[in-house]
Structure 1
Amino acid sequence: MEHESLVEYGPRRAIITITAILCALLEIVDSTIVNVALNEMKGNLGATLSEVGWVITAYAIGNVIIVPMTSWLSQQFGRRNYFAASIILFTVCSFLCGNATNIWELVFFRLLQGIGGGALLVTSQTIITESYPVEKRSMAQAIYGLGVIIGPTLGPPLGGYIVYNFSWPYIFYINIPLGIIAALLTLQFVRSPKYDEKRQARDVDWLGILLLSVFVGSLQYILERGHEDDWLESQTIVILTISAVLGFILFIWRELTFRYPIVELRVLKNVNLRVGTIMSFILGFGLYGSTFIVPLYTQSILGWTAFQSGALMIPAALTTAFMMPLIGKMLTKGVKQQLLVGIGFFTFFVYSFWGYKILTPDIGKDDFFWMLIVRGMGLGLLFIPITSLSLSTLKGKEIGQGAAFTGMMRQLGGSFGIALITTFISNQTTKHTAYISQHLNVNDVNVQQRFEAIKGSFINKGMTLDMAQNAAYKLMQGSVLKQASVMAYMDVFLYLGILFLICIPFVMRVKQRKSATPIDLSEAMH
Structure 2
Amino acid sequence: MQDDSLVEYGARRFIITITAILCALLEIVDTTIVNVALPEMKGNLGSTLSEVGWVITAYAIGNVIIVPMTSWLSQQFGRRNYFAASILIFTLFSFMCGNATNLWELVGFRFLQGVGGGALLVTSQTIITESYPLAKRSMAQAIYGLGVIIGPTLGPPLGGYIVDNYSWPFIFYINIPIGIIAAIMTIQFVRSPKFSEKRSVSDVDWFGIALLAITVGSLQFILERGQEDDWFDSSTIIMFTASAILGFVFFIWRELTFRYPIVELRVLKNGNLRLGTIMSFILGFGLYGSTFIVPLYTQTILGWTALESGALMIPAALTTAVMMPIIGKLLTAGVKQQYLVAGGLLLFFIYSFWGYKILTPDTGKDAFFWMLIVRGMGLGMLFIPITSLALSTLKGQEIGQGAAFTGMMRQLGGSFGVASITTFMANKNVDYATNLASKFDASSLMVQQRIEGLKNMFISKGLAPDVALQSAYQTLRYSVTKQAAVLSYMDVFLYLGLMFLFCIPFILLVKERKSKEKIDVGEMMH
**Alignment TM class, shorter chain as reference:** over 0.9
Partner in structure 2 of residue 333 of structure 1: 333
Partner in structure 2 of residue 360 of structure 1: 360
Deviation at residue 511 of structure 1 after TM alignment: 3.5
Alpha-carbon distance in structure 2 between the residues aligned to 1:154 and 1:380: 16
Deviations 1:100-130, CA, capped at 9 Å, x for gaps = 0000000000000001001000000000000
Query: Aligned letter for 1:293?
Result: I
Alpha-carbon distance in structure 1 between the residues aligned to 2:511 and 2:37: 43
Alpha-carbon distance in structure 2 between the residues aligned to 1:512 and 1:476: 58
Alpha-carbon distance in structure 2 between the residues aligned to 1:9 and 1:327: 22
Matches within 5 A, 1:285-300: 285-300=285-300
Q: Which runs of 5+ in 1 are unaligned?
A: none
Partner in structure 2 of residue 85 of structure 1: 85
RMSD: 0.9
Deviations 1:401-446, CA, capped at 9 Å, x for gaps = 0000000000000000000000111110100001101111222222
Structure 1 runs (4+) greater than 6 angstroms displaced: none
Partner in structure 1 of residue 495 of structure 2: 495
Deviation at residue 4 of structure 1 after TM alignment: 1.3
Q: Percent identity?
A: 76
Alpha-carbon distance in structure 1 between the residues aligned to 2:332 and 2:516: 16
1:46 maps onto 2:56 in alignment:
no
Partner in structure 2 of residue 170 of structure 1: 170
Partner in structure 2 of residue 318 of structure 1: 318
Does the 8 Å CA contact 2:36/2:159 hold for their aligned counterparts? yes
What is the DSSP-based 3-state SS (H/G/I as helix, E as strand, rest coil) of the residue aligned with 1:295? helix
1:232 maps onto 2:214 in alignment:
no
Partner in structure 1 of residue 196 of structure 2: 196
Alpha-carbon distance in structure 2 between the residues aligned to 1:81 and 1:522: 34
Does the 8 Å CA contact 1:33/1:171 hold for their aligned counterparts? yes
Matches within 5 A, 1:45-64: 45-64=45-64
Matches within 5 A, 1:19-418: 19-418=19-418
Deviation at residue 525 of structure 1 after TM alignment: 5.6
Does the 8 Å CA contact 1:40/1:168 hold for their aligned counterparts? yes
Segment of structure 1 superposing worse, 512-521 or 6-15: 512-521
Please give the TM-score of this superposition, normalised by the length of structure 1.
0.99
What is the DSSP-based 3-state SS (H/G/I as helix, E as strand, rest coil) of the residue aligned with 2:514? coil
Alpha-carbon distance in structure 2 between the residues aligned to 1:479 and 1:512: 54
Query: Aligned letter for 2:8?
Result: E
1:516 maps onto 2:516 in alignment:
yes
Segment of structure 1 superposing worse, 11-20 or 506-515: 506-515
Alpha-carbon distance in structure 2 between the residues aligned to 1:290 and 1:410: 14
Partner in structure 1 of residue 18 of structure 2: 18
Alpha-carbon distance in structure 2 between the residues aligned to 1:447 and 1:357: 27
Does the 8 Å CA contact 2:2/2:395 hold for their aligned counterparts? no
Partner in structure 2 of residue 9 of structure 1: 9
Matches within 5 A, 1:403-442: 403-442=403-442
Does the 8 Å CA contact 2:2/2:524 hold for their aligned counterparts? no
What is the number of equivalent residue pairs in this alignment?
A: 526
Deviation at residue 3 of structure 1 after TM alignment: 3.0
What is the DSSP-based 3-state SS (H/G/I as helix, E as strand, rest coil) of the residue aligned with 2:53? helix
Deviation at residue 289 of structure 1 after TM alignment: 0.1
Does the 8 Å CA contact 1:395/1:524 hold for their aligned counterparts? no
What is the DSSP-based 3-state SS (H/G/I as helix, E as strand, rest coil) of the residue aligned with 2:261? coil
Alpha-carbon distance in structure 2 between the residues aligned to 1:324 and 1:447: 54
Deviations 1:264-294, CA, capped at 9 Å, x for gaps = 0000000000000000000000000000000
Segment of structure 1 superposing worse, 347-356 or 451-460: 451-460
Alpha-carbon distance in structure 2 between the residues aligned to 1:319 and 1:310: 15
Query: Aligned letter for 1:175?
Result: N
Does the 8 Å CA contact 2:351/2:374 hold for their aligned counterparts? yes
What is the DSSP-based 3-state SS (H/G/I as helix, E as strand, rest coil) of the residue aligned with 1:101? coil
Does the 8 Å CA contact 1:2/1:193 hold for their aligned counterparts? no
Alpha-carbon distance in structure 2 between the residues aligned to 1:237 and 1:256: 29
Deviation at residue 522 of structure 1 after TM alignment: 3.7
Alpha-carbon distance in structure 2 between the residues aligned to 1:104 and 1:514: 49
Does the 8 Å CA contact 1:157/1:307 hold for their aligned counterparts? yes
Q: Which runs of 5+ in 2 are unaligned?
A: none
Query: Aligned letter for 1:169?
Result: P
Matches within 5 A, 1:440-519: 440-519=440-519
Deviations 1:205-225, CA, capped at 9 Å, x for gaps = 000000000000000000000
Deviation at residue 470 of structure 1 after TM alignment: 1.1
Query: Aligned letter for 2:255?
Result: E
Alpha-carbon distance in structure 2 between the residues aligned to 1:512 and 1:337: 12
Deviations 1:336-378, CA, capped at 9 Å, x for gaps = 0000000100100000000000000000110000000000000
Does the 8 Å CA contact 1:42/1:49 hold for their aligned counterparts? yes
Deviation at residue 512 of structure 1 after TM alignment: 2.5
Alpha-carbon distance in structure 2 between the residues aligned to 1:219 and 1:271: 26
Alpha-carbon distance in structure 1 between the residues aligned to 2:524 and 2:125: 19
Deviation at residue 523 of structure 1 after TM alignment: 4.2
Deviations 1:434-474, CA, capped at 9 Å, x for gaps = 11011112222221111101111111222222211111111
Alpha-carbon distance in structure 1 between the residues aligned to 2:356 and 2:509: 29
Query: Aligned letter for 1:223?
Result: L
- CA separation of 1:438 and 1:2: change in aligned 2, threshold 3 A: closer
Does the 8 Å CA contact 2:352/2:493 hold for their aligned counterparts? yes
Alpha-carbon distance in structure 2 between the residues aligned to 1:148 and 1:101: 32
Query: Aligned letter for 1:511?
Result: K
Deviation at residue 22 of structure 1 after TM alignment: 0.2
What is the DSSP-based 3-state SS (H/G/I as helix, E as strand, rest coil) of the residue aligned with 1:513? helix
Does the 8 Å CA contact 1:395/1:525 hold for their aligned counterparts? no
Does the 8 Å CA contact 1:36/1:159 hold for their aligned counterparts? yes
What is the DSSP-based 3-state SS (H/G/I as helix, E as strand, rest coil) of the residue aligned with 2:227? coil
- CA separation of 1:19 and 1:504: change in aligned 2, threshold 3 A: same
Alpha-carbon distance in structure 2 between the residues aligned to 1:178 and 1:277: 31
Does the 8 Å CA contact 2:272/2:391 hold for their aligned counterparts? yes
Query: Aligned letter for 1:170?
Result: F
Alpha-carbon distance in structure 2 between the residues aligned to 1:201 and 1:441: 73
Please give the TM-score of this superposition, normalised by the length of structure 2.
0.99
Deviations 1:464-522, CA, capped at 9 Å, x for gaps = 22211111111100000000000000000000000000000000002332322232214
Deviation at residue 52 of structure 1 after TM alignment: 0.5
